[in-house]
Amino acid sequence: MHRAARLEDAVHQVMERRLRQRGWRVMIVPYTGYGGPGWARVLARVVLVRVERRQRHRAVKVRGWRSFMTLPVKDTPVVIDVGGTSHEAITDREGFVDCRVEGDLSPGWCTVGIRTDHAQPVEAPIRVVDPSVRFGLISDIDDTVMVTALPRPLLAAWNTFVLDEHARMAVPGMAVLYERLTNAYTGAPVFYLSTGAWNVAPTLTRFLGRHLYPAGPLLLTAWGPKSDRWFRSGRAHKRATLARLAREFPEVKWLLVGDDGQHDEEIYAEFAADHPDNVAAVAIRRLSPTQSVLAGGLPAPVVEGQESGPAGLRWMYAPDGAGLWRQLRESGLSHPKG
């Protein structure tokens, strides 16, 4: 392993021993998974947490930094119960469980059980995609559904570690856009793909629910040193995840939604070129001149319009969900054909 990963593991080993002595407890953090009839991708993390009494009795505002006050529990056996069948897995060096299991699953929403020693069993929601579905939505999060002003380091740190979830702002019109699409395309899945850390998944889930975004799996990343490098690659994570979804759901055409403040256009263009049969269109939210500067780019006029990409692929640009919806209607993608 990379020396940074070896150093991190050594530090975690010392910290785990001391935190257990201080009464920290093992907890399973379930994430929303997905799958198809008969299989599911189960996502969870096993961590040590400090139990605070006040959080047992009343709801409290959750600032971002609290999500990082945990310690991963590696190499821990975990049992996953799916439709009466049990599967065993082992947490990785960062405490994660990410595995594909088989079981009796029907299209729609269901749950799987996750348990391990010395922790309260939990249930993880699973979005099972019907094999007849031919349309789905993959959405970026930062500056696409939620205003974050990334990747400026100081602003990113403020949004991630200090700002509480109630103070975050939703991008106007995007929740309505997604709701209209999921209502028009029955059974269409929604995946939220981001380079954000898994630690903030519960906060993001509450934010999305509060602002009435359709429920769907969050596909995030693990921060910190990796086995082969100092830090994870956000772009590599997005490319690998898109390619995986294309393999797992080869009949689905995806509407790819992102923004022009980071690398979404580049990544989506590469994916569309490699998987033209899996892309219905690309919808890009244009940042305002101020947001472009905060995101590390140059100010540009905010205009709406459509462009033609490889193999006639539609690219749509607008500053908000309402503008993108108008273009989807004009292009005929707002409802299934026929």
Those residues with Cβ within 8 angstroms of residue 236's Cβ, 6 or more apart along the chain or in another chain: none
Could you list the pLDDT tens digit for every one of the 338 residues in the chain?
A: 556 556 656 666 777 677 767 778 899 999 999 999 899 999 999 998 887 654 443 444 444 545 556 788 888 999 999 988 999 999 988 899 999 999 989 999 999 999 999 899 999 999 999 999 999 999 999 889 988 755 555 555 555 555 566 667 899 999 999 999 999 999 999 999 998 888 888 888 999 999 999 999 999 987 665 555 555 577 899 999 999 999 999 999 999 999 988 789 999 999 999 999 999 999 999 986 556 655 555 545 555 777 766 657 899 999 999 999 999 999 999 999 76
CB 16 within 8 A of CB 46: no
CB 280 within 8 A of CB 333: yes
CB 231 within 8 A of CB 225: yes
Instruction: Enter the tokens of residue 285.
Output: 């939210």
User: In the prediction, which pLDDT does 3 show?
Assistant: 66
CB 199 within 8 A of CB 70: yes
Q: Give domain 135-331's CATH superfamily.
A: HAD superfamily/HAD-like (3.40.50.1000)
User: In the prediction, which pLDDT does 242 show?
Assistant: 98
Q: Which fold has domain 3-128?
A: Immunoglobulin-like (2.60.40)
CB 33 within 8 A of CB 132: no
What secondary structure does DSSP assign to 197-218, as a single string? EGGGHHHHHHHHHHTTPPP--E
- CA–CA separation, 189 and 216 (whole Å): 7
User: In the prediction, which pLDDT does 292 show?
Assistant: 60
Which residues make up the CATH 2.60.40.10 domain(s) of the chain?
3-128
Which residues make up the CATH 3.40.50.1000 domain(s) of the chain?
135-331
User: In the prediction, which pLDDT does 62 show?
Assistant: 46
3-state secondary structure of 83: coil
- Beta-bridged to residue 122, according to DSSP, are 114
Q: Which of 67, 37, 299, 279 is nearest to 164 (CA)?
A: 67
User: In the prediction, which pLDDT does 261 show?
Assistant: 80
- CA–CA separation, 153 and 188 (whole Å): 35
> Sign of torsion, CA 218 224 227 229?
positive
**Location of structure tokens 């919806």:** 325
User: In the prediction, which pLDDT does 49 show?
Assistant: 86
- CA–CA separation, 286 and 303 (whole Å): 8
Instruction: Give the rounded distance of the alpha carbon of 287 from its chain centre.
Output: 21
Distances (CA, A) of 262 to 52, 117, 305: 38, 42, 19
**Location of structure tokens 């749950």:** 111
- CA–CA separation, 208 and 216 (whole Å): 9
3-state secondary structure of 233: coil
